[in-house]
Chain A
Amino acid sequence: MAEIRPEAFGGQLWRLVVLLVAAVLLGAVLPVGATAAGDPTGALTGGAVDIGAAQPGQPTLAEVAAQVGKNKVAINLTWVLLTGFLVFFMQAGFALVETGFTRAKNAAHTMTMNLMVFLVGALGFWLVGFPLMFGNFGAIGTLGGQSILSKGLSVGGWNLLGNSGWFLSGMAYDVTVVALFLFQMVFMDTAATIPTGGMAERVKFSGVVASTFFISMFLYPVFGNWVWGGGWLAQLGAKLGLGHGAVDFAGSSVVHMIGGAAALAGAAVLGPRLGKYKPDGTPNALPGHDLPMAVLGTIILFFGWFGFNPGSTLAATDLRMAVVAVNTMLAGAAGGFASMVYHWLRYGKPDPSMVCNGTLAGLVAITAPSAFVNPTASVIIGLIAGVLVVESVFFIDRRLRIDDPVGAVSVHFVNGAWGIIAVGLFADGTYGEGLNGVKGAVTGLLYGGGFGQLYAQLIDVGVAALWGLGMAYAFYKAYHAAFGLRSKAENELAGLDLPEMGVFGYPEFPLTTDGHIAAARRRALNPEYHSGLRPASAPSGQHVET
């Protein structure tokens, strides 16, 4: 390679940059006053000439009305797409949280599972999942269009499954249907990626490929149809008078309980990681290898949730989205705050992983009620979620002795159920007029709505738990018997990266026997070690060094 003398190269480059900047500045400044064709304030841009009309600039009332309708749908469609993109980005959050909470020896395996779930899920949902879930959804009101998704399977007036929109072809090759597909696919992806956390560090990669097809094509869409596709749980209100039927605005049950149920079933079938439990059954701590990564992932998930919940209006012209966004923000904050304080009081430290879990628990819990409750109720829902998630983690870890490395079951399944129940308690009767074909707004027990809505919510929770746990357990059990779901013990001990993926996540660094990056790296990256400075205050109390 030719040697470049940096000072000489830098000198020439510097002169070039100065000349270029001077030329650009001269070019930009000189024409002012000479020509004034631009519209720097934007005041002149956009007007009657931009409305499609037979006589340009002089549209008729009908032409104006057509343009207004078009604009409304365009705004809504843009909102659906943009919030869908935000929800897609939550996949990055899941990948970082799950990989950060697990050990370095499995980093490539855990991280790649999270990408793979999206790849497999997109295909599975396109092939089978979407038509089953939304095949009899009817017209997508906020996006205009026609009633394309209008075929399904019903028994005695109860809708059980959809049956149109196959392969997004034929009638379903339609802008409103494909926009709905994009938005719903990334929600399915969220459910499908939750179990990878519960099964991490011991599951075979191939088992997760298979189970993601199962989740995206069957487990998720069938239950989703019952709540969001006009199915029988949504009909509980119109047919049996139970409030508005099962109400799950953005998916506390459809997404989070189903994903959490699969995580619980998968973790139970797999059994705990080697070394997780002592011979007497008490748990060992297996600290995650990169908590900064997990915290970043949590913040990315929170960001994505501003698509998840507000986007579920499917309409930017539904201004309720502002309330949804603020409820989401407050419940997430309250959840993280509550878990931080609760763990701090109980154990003397605000455990970073519990702060993350609590934040996510608040977000999961507000997902169903976010459109139907007020900000004060959102804070209460979040605070309860933050305490609930800590207790649930301990219960699952110590009593059930099911090894869930990232707390997926406590965050998604337990708090998903809490969120659904919260709708039946806190819905304040300001939103949801006519939802699921029932007159009036959604009103919970505490706002004078009686028990009807709460019963519908409890049925939703029960069905989600039975369907999710039952079907997922049967699938994992059968798959395990047929093909083996768990990696060999020797692979698990060495780390799944090399045996399962063929390459290390961190090839440059030696790993310790328990799967963490060896201390040499920790010290090499510790500036205090190089600076030769003493610590500002000498350690004392619990902070005892030898």
Chain B
Amino acid sequence: MKKLELIVRPNVAQEVIDALEKLGVGGMTVMQVDGCGKQKGQTGLYRGTEFSLHLLPKVKIEVFLPDAAVQSVIEQITSVARTGEVGDGKIFVLPAENAVRIRTGEEGEEAL
């Protein structure tokens, strides 16, 4: 079982969510976040003085997947969320130890 953290542009978030549902992902957690990557945000200009917009708005989606599903999800989401410009975001893959469905007590991939 793996945890995927998808950090994407706000304007493609809905498409990513739709794609995850089409792939049969059992559930997800979506957050509005601020963050930065290598480029460290944008530069603004106010009354002739530059200022940095270090953190930009992004959407973070957390999903837990069976190991077998990880590769296809990554491929699908990468194609949906990619514009080719900096700022497209990242996908982090983390090991996940267990999952418990609170209603029934099921554990492991059964609970996803």
Q: Which one of B14, B39, B48, B57 has the greatest number of beta carbons of chain A within 10 Å?
A: B48
Residues 1-55 (chain B) with a chain A CB within 8 angstroms: 9-15, 18, 32, 34-51, 55
- Interface presence of A354 (CB below 8 A): yes
Contact B85 A546 (CB under 8 A): no
Contact B57 A523 (CB under 8 A): yes
User: Which 8 A-B pairs rank lowest in CB-CB distance, beginning with the nearest?
Assistant: A532-B14, A545-B87, A546-B37, A285-B51, A285-B49, A285-B46, A546-B39, A287-B46
Contact A354 B83 (CB under 8 A): no
Ordered by A's residue number, 16 sampled pairs between the chains whose C-beta atoms are within 8 Å are A284-B51, A285-B50, A348-B45, A519-B57, A520-B32, A523-B32, A528-B11, A529-B11, A531-B14, A533-B11, A535-B11, A544-B39, A545-B85, A545-B87, A546-B38, A546-B40
Instruction: Tell me how many residues of A have a C-beta within 8 Å of chain B.
Output: 40
* B91 shortest CB reach to chain A, Å: 15
The number of residue pairs between A and B whose CB atoms lie closer than 8 Å in the complex comes to: 97
Query: A546 is contacted by which of B11, B50, B87 (Cβ under 8 Å)?
Result: B87
Closest to B36 in A: A546
Which B residues are CB-close (under 8 A) to A539? 85, 87
- Interface presence of A530 (CB below 8 A): yes
Per-position binary interface string of chain A over residues 346-371, scored 1 when its CB falls under 8 Å from any chain B CB and 0 otherwise: 11110101100000000000000000
Residues of B within 8 A of A (CB): 9-15, 18, 32, 34-51, 55-57, 83-87
A523→B35 CA distance, assembly (Å): 14
Residues of A within 8 A of B (CB): 283-288, 343, 346-349, 351, 353-354, 390, 393-394, 397, 407, 519-520, 522-523, 526, 528-535, 538-540, 542-546
Known A523-B32, A545-B39; contact A394-B48, beta-carbon cutoff 8 A: yes
Contact B86 A545 (CB under 8 A): yes
Query: B47 is contacted by which of A285, A531, A542 (Cβ under 8 Å)?
Result: A285
Closest to A287 in B: B46
Closest to B18 in A: A532
* A515 shortest CB reach to chain B, Å: 14
* A238 shortest CB reach to chain B, Å: 44
Which A residues are CB-close (under 8 A) to B48? 343, 346-347, 351, 354, 390, 393-394, 397
* A473 shortest CB reach to chain B, Å: 25
A428→B60 CA distance, assembly (Å): 67
Which A residues are CB-close (under 8 A) to B14? 530-532
Known A532-B12, A534-B83, A545-B56; contact A285-B44, beta-carbon cutoff 8 A: yes
A408→B60 CA distance, assembly (Å): 43
Which B residues are CB-close (under 8 A) to A520? 32
A142→B32 CA distance, assembly (Å): 64
* A513 shortest CB reach to chain B, Å: 12
Q: Which one of B38, B43, B87 has the greatest number of beta carbons of chain A within 10 Å?
A: B87
Known A544-B39, A545-B42; contact A529-B13, beta-carbon cutoff 8 A: yes
Which B residues are CB-close (under 8 A) to A545? 9, 39, 41-42, 56, 85-87
Contact B83 A538 (CB under 8 A): yes
A534→B13 CA distance, assembly (Å): 10
* A64 shortest CB reach to chain B, Å: 61
Which B residues are CB-close (under 8 A) to A538? 83-85
A545→B43 CA distance, assembly (Å): 10
Closest to A539 in B: B85
A286→B13 CA distance, assembly (Å): 31
Contact A534 B11 (CB under 8 A): yes
Query: A523 is contacted by which of B10, B40, B46 (Cβ under 8 Å)?
Result: B10
* B3 shortest CB reach to chain A, Å: 23
Which A residues are CB-close (under 8 A) to B49? 283-285, 397
Which B residues are CB-close (under 8 A) to A348? 45
A361→B9 CA distance, assembly (Å): 41
* A439 shortest CB reach to chain B, Å: 47
Contact B47 A532 (CB under 8 A): no
Closest to B50 in A: A285
A283→B50 CA distance, assembly (Å): 9
